[in-house]
Amino acid sequence: MLAQVSGILLIQHGFLSTFLLSTHSTQYTLFNPEFKVLFNSYYNGIGEQFTRANRGSLSRPSLKEVIEYRTYVDKAVIELLDTDFSEKLKQIVVLGLNHEQQHQELMLMDIKYNFSVNPLFPKYDSVNSLNLNDESYLEPIKYTDFEQAIINIGTNLGTNINTLCDRKFAYDNEQPKHQVLIHPFSFANRLVTNAEYLAFINSGAYSNPQYWLSDGWANIKTNNLSHPLYWHCINDEWFEFTHYGLQPLNLNAPVCHVSYFEASAYANFTNARLPTEFEWEYAAQNYSINDAVQNQFMPSRHRESNSIEQLADACWQWTNSAYLPYPGFKPIEGVAGEYNGKFMTNQMVLRGGCVFTPQNHLRNTYRNFYYPHQAWMCSGIRLARDKV
Amino acid sequence: MLAQVSGILLIQHGFLSTFLLSTHSTQYTLFNPEFKVLFNSYYNGIGEQFTRANRGSLSRPSLKEVIEYRTYVDKAVIELLDTDFSEKLKQIVVLGLNHEQQHQELMLMDIKYNFSVNPLFPKYDSVNSLNLNDESYLEPIKYTDFEQAIINIGTNLGTNINTLCDRKFAYDNEQPKHQVLIHPFSFANRLVTNAEYLAFINSGAYSNPQYWLSDGWANIKTNNLSHPLYWHCINDEWFEFTHYGLQPLNLNAPVCHVSYFEASAYANFTNARLPTEFEWEYAAQNYSINDAVQNQFMPSRHRESNSIEQLADACWQWTNSAYLPYPGFKPIEGVAGEYNGKFMTNQMVLRGGCVFTPQNHLRNTYRNFYYPHQAWMCSGIRLARDKV
Amino acid sequence: MLAQVSGILLIQHGFLSTFLLSTHSTQYTLFNPEFKVLFNSYYNGIGEQFTRANRGSLSRPSLKEVIEYRTYVDKAVIELLDTDFSEKLKQIVVLGLNHEQQHQELMLMDIKYNFSVNPLFPKYDSVNSLNLNDESYLEPIKYTDFEQAIINIGTNLGTNINTLCDRKFAYDNEQPKHQVLIHPFSFANRLVTNAEYLAFINSGAYSNPQYWLSDGWANIKTNNLSHPLYWHCINDEWFEFTHYGLQPLNLNAPVCHVSYFEASAYANFTNARLPTEFEWEYAAQNYSINDAVQNQFMPSRHRESNSIEQLADACWQWTNSAYLPYPGFKPIEGVAGEYNGKFMTNQMVLRGGCVFTPQNHLRNTYRNFYYPHQAWMCSGIRLARDKV
Amino acid sequence: MLAQVSGILLIQHGFLSTFLLSTHSTQYTLFNPEFKVLFNSYYNGIGEQFTRANRGSLSRPSLKEVIEYRTYVDKAVIELLDTDFSEKLKQIVVLGLNHEQQHQELMLMDIKYNFSVNPLFPKYDSVNSLNLNDESYLEPIKYTDFEQAIINIGTNLGTNINTLCDRKFAYDNEQPKHQVLIHPFSFANRLVTNAEYLAFINSGAYSNPQYWLSDGWANIKTNNLSHPLYWHCINDEWFEFTHYGLQPLNLNAPVCHVSYFEASAYANFTNARLPTEFEWEYAAQNYSINDAVQNQFMPSRHRESNSIEQLADACWQWTNSAYLPYPGFKPIEGVAGEYNGKFMTNQMVLRGGCVFTPQNHLRNTYRNFYYPHQAWMCSGIRLARDKV
């Protein structure tokens, strides 16, 4: 675990060391040439890889060495930018910082997963004043209607790292901006709650193939799944493992850490469906995204309003869109081009953001993506319907 | 093998026995109640299943019993329709016949695969007068341009089995007809040939991660793949296993039995891409589909023309579209509703048709689908490009 | 299944074709050179192999071709022996015939297994006059005491194929004859019955780790085992799948098709143990082996006597001896030397014989061997105890 | 890694906490009841287990907590023994201390393995004055002859924990002392060296099935093995990963970290065999065991003498004996009885001791055991021969 956190810290700066310093600084010498292999669990283009499965057994470099390494890289980055503050270099740094923000969220996900398999259920943080177990009445989901329209999807910042603009950033997979024809649909005003998901479980849904995709049914049967990843039923009471240790299940909070298979089955159960990523982006264009509450590691209950809520401040939301290139998609040039495009099979898009996501990492056009069986990210359920 | 063919023959009539006779005939008694379990490798909704993996070890019922069973079911179907020739029953029969046509293609695929792993390379048929090894000059691929448009996709025959019209048929997954906004694109006039694919291999592509999707690279490395499924390199010469046994590779014929991973990597190699299924359907609306040559089990070389060729008479064509529901999709009602919708994850759409497909099973709106690693169906490569 | 039986018939004669005819006949031409690959699932020393896992998908050569092939080989063997009836050739033929006898038993095992996974539970033969469901009283197991002794184990026919004597035969793994010091022990007069094994099950043994070897516990938990391979509990009644189809469990008959793990756990449950292979051979030297009833595919109940019964006419008996070389062991010379020695890890010895074994294939010194998790051979339980 | 070491430290004292304090002290309260689950990766008899595979992801309890826990248990043990210094309790403590010694060796093995998969090849210790790369001449192996004999094997300290004597200790699996008839054999005077094993590799042995057991050949082919676990060939030079980091291969030192499959194949290559565990024990009865050099983590080269050397001061030595119970074997009573007996399948006995083993943990009768594919313990090769 320490190894994994150290590893993530190391890999973050590996990006800057490899794609900025080694490529653009004539002065730069590697802190430790071997670190390159450790860093490279990902990029087939830059040589020998250290497989991810082995990462858990890495106990060196020590945390101390990793911090020294990061200080070393930070210093070299600043020195390089002092002598060459060109657009070109700034853009690589911006890409590197966004990359680092992704790893900040991954670190919180890994810590949660890691602690969750420990029978001691360690706490990452203390609860303080959070009201985790609110039992007040919650209104049923309301749907907002959207008419057929041709809308703009994505953004246009350019896919060449050399033309990324100064203050704005978007990944290549959000580009280019293009038109999409949307059919009439209705969009839920909030996420599905733990109470609602519990009713699904209690209906016997994990024993009833009718709600499930074929691969989803195979997945829950092969792995003996009968509830979301971090739920525990102890003496007939439901608990949820969190960064605050094991907590009684908060019935009004959004269900989180569900797989696409579970989200899709739940939607079938309620005669609804998941939105497409285009429907989601269209809804988000019309309703402001509330900032996530900082330093809190669990999504809060829905605050009643006339708006569409919980777009980015609670859980990522599974969409019914496969992760595929936009029309006209061009990967970032160079080795960093492996970043996004090569994952465009077998994964589904999630939209929004969650309580683990750095706040200024969020935007309407952002496309997150995971395999349909995965649930260790903070993923929830937004419902939609065909409008008839 | 005999077991598998018997099994398919059995399963085909299982559809009629279960969904037509057992449900709508008061007179019908099952030929053998145990056959129900054998038949049910597929429908979670109708009880205990016999797993597909075990099918290879089935040696009973014998071919003789299966033929008796089919005769028995045929007779019962005719008797039922004699007394009740309602729309409702006709529609079930139509669905059953289309189902049976799919299994006819599957049987040819299974026989080919089965013979292919036998070191004796048995022949399913003799070559006769086929010109398998044409070495005449072939023009390079030409691209036809299509402008931005809003087009109709799919068909509108209705998703309720009770409202299927008499002479027309389409599966639920092709419905409803709906509008899609298409961006400008160019579409190749023919499929990629064996010669072209061989150049890709000879460039070292199976050792070069840059062309491959991440899951695709993992797939070819894990399984030590270095060429299409049925190719063999013997003493530096290339051969292809076919229904006519092992044959020298016909360089002008379309490459077939490639996975989506291979098709996608090949497209990257040529700076092209695969078409979306909407682009494919739009192109097919504008160019007639030539009938496949019957009783031939290998795709022929491209016939030069000014048209777009090989749409349905050679190989299925991988598209870059994930297999997902159309807006407004409704599964067929009842247990037969498991037919299509539950496979809508992790698979990619193929369009067209191939030399194994019954001729009147083809139509522009038809959506075939397989997992991206699969190649035992007759799948080829149609290229497309963004029009700039 | 047909494929498997054809395969076995083919492989049997493959032995004679490869080790007798191809090596010693100047006239012999191969019936079909490709058959060599099919045959070679076993011998690393004679070239490219066809993996066993793929055998189930072999549908060619057809049964007709296999019979032609066998006739062809038989004829060539007779012609060769007509011209050269030397000891050397006779010995290869003797080895080949013993090899063929082993495959006769394997064929009965494979047919049973194959039919057993078919939900139709086909019958290989009709029961006729067998009394399968005898419920008369059976005396408890009695133990015969043996004192400490130095005994002869194994036989001395020689390990060089050139010195095998004319009418006698033993495999290399039974050789050489050597002395073993035996400690005082007691040996059960009959095999454990289905009724006794059922009491073990009903005690909750499959949920109680205390009786099981560590690998055995993992085996039954991983594979969800809760009873012997061919047992079925249907509406609270126990049945056993047999060559005569599904039959009510015969409580007095010996339990069969148990793994070593099950045999060992059962012995622990009764505070007994399994005998060593040396104890077994010593007991068999002192008590005659009854001939197995021919044309019967299920072991019969114990016939009361003052002797030690069911030594070779019911089930093979797991011993607590790992399959290892005897002191002075020498593999047969040449490629046929791969026959036995290379399996001498991870397997346990079984002694005796069973209802599937050709009668003149049995002898006191015979060493059968299987992996401890396997149960598709006809394996039962003989108990022993330390004599105190 | 830290997690694993913490885990081992935790588990060691778990033994005392569970089998001594919880059972025999009325005062004792658990330091943390949850630790019981962490501790229990092993004993099916004492409740819910934490699977070994998950151990790598344990990051809590922290090292600090583990040390507090150990101090707590140590104190409680001393207090208990102050009030009850009975034979019974002393014996549990003795068993616990021997158990702890085994974990000391395991910790060195785990650290080595863990560091070895790290591409930085971290050093556990600095080399100091060790002469790692001695290239002086080494005499070929000499064999000592032993005649046929009836010898005593094992020891007789009693299998009931209540009758263990005060100062002597032996595990249940070494008991009882019993007679074994040994056939004439010859025993090598030293272990096989790296130079000798290298000649085996250079002969093409890893591509030649003739030397290998069937399971061994499958093992090296499935895992692409071509040399011992910690060897690396870098620019045509051989290195070995050690506790001192990557070091040039010391040609005169004994080959270590070989699997049983490799040891057995090497023996076949030289027309020798591995000794039985009884032959090994007999040889050790006649030649004194030299003390291992302390604080050294690599075996030294053989020192020429007229004796049999390297019995316990270099590497454990694979024997050709499966790990099975001795005649009259009785497991320790109670839950601690799971300690040894339940592993008595599929493993092979190693005899001797190695440079990682605590010195007073060694004795002639000690039986170590591992699966034949394992090599992360310090295992080497002693040759033997039939004496003719």
> Per residue in D176-224, pLDDT tens?
999 999 999 999 999 999 999 999 999 999 999 999 999 999 999 999 9
* D 119-158 near A (Cβ less than 8 A): 119-120, 122
When the pLDDT of each residue in chain A is averaged and rounded to a whole number, the result is: 86
Provide the residue count of chain C.
Answer: 388
- Rounded Cα gap, residues C113 and B72, in angstroms: 30
pLDDT of residue D166: 45
Locate A185 and state its tokens: 């649909």
By DSSP bridging, strand D143-146 and strand C384-386 are unpaired
pLDDT of residue C163: 44
Q: Which value does ipTM take for this structure?
A: 0.91
User: What mean pLDDT comes out for the span C30-50?
Assistant: 63
Q: Rounded to an integer, what is the distance from CA C91 to the centroid of its chain? A: 23
- Rounded Cα gap, residues B373 and C228, in angstroms: 38
Q: What single letter denotes the amino acid at residue A261?
A: F
Cβ neighbours for A291, distance < 8 A, ≥ 6 positions apart: A313, A359
Tell me the pLDDT band of A294, cut-offs 50, 70 and 90: low
B234 at C interface, C-beta within 8 A: no
Torsions phi, psi for C23 (to 5 deg): -90, -35
In contact, D383 and D186? CB cutoff 8 Å: no
DSSP D302: P
Q: Give chain C positions within 8 Å (CB) of D342.
A: 212-214, 217
- Kind and range of the H or E run holding A75: helix A63-83
Hey, is B54 helix, strand or coil?
helix
DSSP D21: I
The listed range with the strongest mean pLDDT (B287-296, B310-319, C359-368) is B310-319
By DSSP bridging, strand A178-182 and strand A149-153 are antiparallel
Radius of gyration for the alpha carbons in chain B, expressed in angstroms and rounded: 22
In contact, A160 and A297? CB cutoff 8 Å: no
Please write the tens of the pLDDT for every residue from D35-68: 776 666 545 555 555 555 555 666 778 888 888 9
Residue D292 has pLDDT above 60, yes or no: no
Locate C84 and state its tokens: 């050269």
CB atoms within 10 A of CB D27: 9
Q: Say yes or no for a CB contact (<8 Å) between B60 and C122.
A: yes
- Rounded Cα gap, residues C314 and C320, in angstroms: 19
pLDDT of residue B130: 64
- Rounded Cα gap, residues D35 and D11, in angstroms: 9
- Chain D residue at shortest CA distance from C271: D330
Residue B75 has pLDDT above 80, yes or no: yes
Q: Say yes or no for a CB contact (<8 Å) between A214 and B343.
A: yes
Residue C55 has pLDDT above 80, yes or no: no
pLDDT of residue B337: 64
Q: Which of D364, D355, D242 is nearest to D292 (CA)?
A: D355
Q: Say yes or no for a CB contact (<8 Å) between A38 and D119.
A: yes
Tell me the pLDDT band of D334, cut-offs 50, 70 and 90: low
User: What would the DSSP string read from start to end of C94-110?
Assistant: HHHHHHHHHHHHHHHHH
Residue D377 has pLDDT above 50, yes or no: yes
Interior CA angle at B328 toward B325 and B334, to 5°? 80
D: neighbours with 3+ CB pairs under 8 Å? A, C
- Rounded Cα gap, residues D112 and D124, in angstroms: 8
Q: Do chains B and D touch (3 or more CB pairs under 8 A)?
A: no
Instruction: Flag the least confident range among B150-164, D148-162, D362-376.
Output: B150-164
Q: Say yes or no for a CB contact (<8 Å) between C322 and D324.
A: yes
- Kind and range of the H or E run holding C10: helix C2-15
State which fold the C135-194+253-386 domain adopts: paralog of FGE (formylglycine-generating enzyme) (3.90.1580)
pLDDT of residue B1: 44
- Strand-pairing partners, residue C271, are none
**Best interface-test mutation with B: which of C55, C118, C241 has the largest number of B CBs within 10 A?**
C118
CB atoms within 10 A of CB C71: 12
Q: Give chain B positions within 8 Å (CB) of A320.
A: 324-325
CA–CA min distance C203, chain B (Å) = 29
Higher-confidence residue of C28 and B369: namely B369
Residue A163 has pLDDT above 50, yes or no: no
- Rounded Cα gap, residues A160 and B273, in angstroms: 19
- Domain locations along chain B: 2-116, 135-194+253-386
In contact, A73 and A21? CB cutoff 8 Å: yes
CA–CA min distance D4, chain A (Å) = 9
pTM for the structure as a whole: 0.88
Please write the tens of the pLDDT for every residue from A214-260: 999 999 999 999 999 999 999 999 999 999 999 999 999 999 999 99
Please write the tens of the pLDDT for every residue from B19-45: 888 888 888 888 887 777 666 654 555
Q: Say yes or no for a CB contact (<8 Å) between A34 and D3.
A: no
User: What mean pLDDT comes out for the span D11-30?
Assistant: 82
D213 at C interface, C-beta within 8 A: yes
Residue C336 has pLDDT above 90, yes or no: no
What residue has token string 């694979």?
D318
pLDDT of residue D338: 61
B: neighbours with 3+ CB pairs under 8 Å? A, C
Contacts across the A-B interface (CB distance below 8 Å): 81
What residue has token string 């299927």?
B164
Q: How far apart, in Å, are the Cα atoms of B18 and each of B12, B28, B35, C132, C217?
A: 10, 10, 11, 37, 42
Q: Give chain A positions within 8 Å (CB) of B264.
A: 345
Interior CA angle at A204 toward A203 and A206, to 5°? 130
Tell me the pLDDT band of A166, cut-offs 50, 70 and 90: very low
Provide the residue count of chain D.
Answer: 388
Cβ neighbours for C314, distance < 8 A, ≥ 6 positions apart: C191, C254, C256, C292, C299, C300, C352, C354, C355, C380
CB atoms within 10 A of CB B279: 25
Instruction: Flag the least confident range among A167-171, A259-263, C94-98.
Output: A167-171
Q: How far apart, in Å, are the Cα atoms of B128 and each of B131, B132, B134, C77, C306?
A: 9, 10, 15, 39, 74
Locate A47 and state its tokens: 């040589």
pLDDT of residue A19: 81
B117 at A interface, C-beta within 8 A: no
Residue A113 has pLDDT above 80, yes or no: yes
E strands, chain D, are: 143-146, 149-153, 178-182, 185-188, 231-234, 237-242, 245-248, 316-322, 348-351, 368-370, 379-380, 384-386
Tell me the pLDDT band of D132, cut-offs 50, 70 and 90: low
Task: List helix spans (H) across A117-146.
Answer: none
Q: Say yes or no for a CB contact (<8 Å) between D44 and C217.
A: yes
Q: Which of B76, B67, B64 is nearest to B30 (CA)?
A: B76
In contact, D370 and C346? CB cutoff 8 Å: no
In contact, B383 and B192? CB cutoff 8 Å: yes
Q: Which string of b and e fits D248-287 if b means at least 16 CB within 10 Å?
A: ebbbbbbbbbbbbbbbbbbbbbbebbbbbbbbbbbbbeeb
Q: What single letter denotes the amino acid at residue C73?
A: V
Q: Which of B39, B32, B40, B29 is nearest to B6 (CA)?
A: B39
In contact, C187 and C181? CB cutoff 8 Å: no
Q: Do chains A and B touch (3 or more CB pairs under 8 A)?
A: yes
A: neighbours with 3+ CB pairs under 8 Å? B, D
Residue C46 has pLDDT above 60, yes or no: no
- Rounded Cα gap, residues C277 and C352, in angstroms: 10
Who among A2, A35, A38 is closest to D59 (CB)?
A2
pLDDT of residue A43: 52
